[in-house]
Chain A
């Protein structure tokens, strides 16, 4: 954590290629408290040679974002990262307009110098420029947020799962080409209580999106597509409880699916890692974090998953004060 930043939340992980000095980058938002005016996006990298995380440094601040956009930004939230076909890192950051999180927009930033992006002797060389605020809604372009990692496509492009949350909550899939240009979007569900979708590719064209459920007795909700994201259908909820908390999914190999999720009703005290072969039936693989029994205010939440160096990496919000991480070496697993 940077100095004097007691709050941290909503981490995102980005795997880097084997030739890179860093195995992965982590981004999260930090500041004096959530929604404070000094909240910015922080980045750190896990160095392959030293097996240590680099010093966290600010890569996006509210003032710089407003300056580049040409209009004010009230607060900054969830970051999501993606690496395009040229190796350029793109950041998608939630930035609010007039109102709370439900008045958010998604700002697209990209790495300033792609030539350095292929070498990257130092993470200090990574700077981001605003590409634009993504135009996603007619109503003053408000209430679209991003949370989970994109799904990489064979053509070098990606699908970025986002969601609307002003009253109704529904998921949307944005499609980008290999350079990071927006190609279009499609609504993923007819339900209006589901948000923060995370994508899983079961086959090249059959994908699943798992989501946070905003209902009181919620379960992890799901939609699927059989035609690579052109059309989506609601499918029955999973058997997993969801206490209105973000989930993260990843396919490390065909039929090897992982899901990090809060599993206790009504709290974010327990964070689990579950495994599945089909995305429908899940079994507990590992308890990632567990607070003291009865202390409902304890929180381990907003997980992110990445696959790098034959390992599954998990990061998550730890008590809203810092970001924790774990690495599972699956090649050595019994």
Chain B
């Protein structure tokens, strides 16, 4: 029992585990490559009629982004925004994968109650982190993202996404995807060792706002 308590205490109080520089460089480039490839395929999906065309364009953009040095857009995007979150990157990877296997760019943003709840949690987490950055309160919330206890909180939230809801395919898919993001973070510590940065970046946070507002607007129009 004591051993278990000591182990648990050591795990909870463990110092931040940050990824080494080489892994950050590779991981950030790959995240930007997925994001840019998905963005280009999504924007040009009307002109990319075949799966092969979408795949060629996606691979071309990814190779360009993964290219070392200032010729890569990742070199400059890193200057401004550092790295996308793992969630954004995995969302883009899923969208890309479906677009090269299906008739068009996949709409991963279908609206199920579980997805709406997940988006709402993301928006709230973003406000909490923004308030922390701007010192609206004293506790250093961002620092908690380096702690093991943040993983426990994230797992509870992941479970909470589907509580009380019908176990729809979309909710299941969201849970699997967020579970994969957490597992990827545990293994790689990307993008920078902080769980909040792995789960949510400011751009994704803005997209979630737009997504929720659009859903709210549609609901109001239906009533």
Q: How far is the CA of A202 from the CA of B68 in the complex (A)?
A: 49
Contact between A139 and B70 (Cβ–Cβ < 8 Å)? no
**Given A70-B25, A72-B79, CB of A137 within 8 Å of CB of B142:** yes
Contact between B130 and A139 (Cβ–Cβ < 8 Å)? yes
> 1/0 contact trace for A67-86 toward B, CB 8 Å?
11111111000000000000
**Given A131-B21, A138-B202, CB of A72 within 8 Å of CB of B75:** yes
Q: Which of A97, A168, A172, A181 contacts B79 (CB 8 A)?
A: A97
Looking at B46-54, B152-160, B171-179, B189-197, the stretch in contact with chain A turns out to be B189-197
| Chain A residues positioned under 8 Å from B147 (CB to CB) | 184
| Chain B residues positioned under 8 Å from A184 (CB to CB) | 15-16, 143, 146-147
Q: How far is the CA of A187 from the CA of B143 in the complex (A)?
A: 10
B74 lies within 8 A of chain A by Cβ: yes
Q: Which of A164, A185, A186 contacts B135 (CB 8 A)?
A: A164
Q: How far is the CA of A183 from the CA of B196 in the complex (A)?
A: 17
Which of under 10, 10 to 19, 20 to 34, or 35 or more describes the interface residues of B? 35 or more
A135 lies within 8 A of chain B by Cβ: yes
A120 lies within 8 A of chain B by Cβ: no
Label chain A's interface by main secondary structure: loop
Q: How far is the CA of A232 from the CA of B80 in the complex (A)?
A: 32
**Given A132-B24, A182-B16, CB of A140 within 8 Å of CB of B135:** no
B29 lies within 8 A of chain A by Cβ: yes
| Chain B residues positioned under 8 Å from A38 (CB to CB) | none
| Chain A residues positioned under 8 Å from B180 (CB to CB) | none
- With both beta carbons as reference points, the residue of chain A lying nearest to B21 in the complex is identified as A132
- With both beta carbons as reference points, the residue of chain B lying nearest to A182 in the complex is identified as B16
A130 lies within 8 A of chain B by Cβ: yes
Q: How far is the CA of A137 from the CA of B194 in the complex (A)?
A: 10
Q: Which of B78, B79, B140, B192 contacts A135 (CB 8 A)?
A: B192
Within 1-39 of B, Cβ neighbours of A (below 8 Å) are at: 15-16, 18, 20-21, 24-25, 28-29
| Chain B residues positioned under 8 Å from A192 (CB to CB) | 135
Of the listed residues B28, B138, B197, the one surrounded by the most CB atoms of chain A closer than 10 A to its CB is B138
Q: Which of B68, B70, B138 contacts A190 (CB 8 A)?
A: B138
Contact between A138 and B142 (Cβ–Cβ < 8 Å)? yes
Contact between B142 and A167 (Cβ–Cβ < 8 Å)? no
Q: How far is the CA of A69 from the CA of B21 in the complex (A)?
A: 7
A98 lies within 8 A of chain B by Cβ: yes
Q: How far is the CA of A132 from the CA of B129 in the complex (A)?
A: 22
B220 lies within 8 A of chain A by Cβ: no
Contact between A71 and B140 (Cβ–Cβ < 8 Å)? no
Q: How far is the CA of A67 from the CA of B142 in the complex (A)?
A: 28
Contact between B79 and A74 (Cβ–Cβ < 8 Å)? yes
> 1/0 contact trace for A184-221 toward B, CB 8 Å?
11110010100000000000000000000000000000
Contact between A135 and B21 (Cβ–Cβ < 8 Å)? no
Q: Which of A70, A138, A185, A186 contacts B133 (CB 8 A)?
A: A138
Q: Which of A97, A138, A181 contacts B197 (CB 8 A)?
A: A138
Q: Which of A168, A182, A186, A190 contacts B140 (CB 8 A)?
A: A186
Instruction: Give A residues with C-beta under 8 Å from B.
Output: 66-74, 97-98, 130-133, 135-141, 164, 167-168, 170, 172, 177, 181-187, 190, 192
Pairs A–B under 8 Å by Cβ, sample size 27: A69-B25, A70-B74, A71-B79, A72-B79, A74-B79, A97-B80, A97-B82, A98-B80, A132-B20, A132-B24, A135-B18, A135-B193, A137-B133, A138-B129, A138-B145, A138-B194, A138-B197, A139-B129, A140-B202, A141-B192, A164-B133, A168-B135, A177-B15, A182-B16, A182-B18, A187-B140, A190-B138
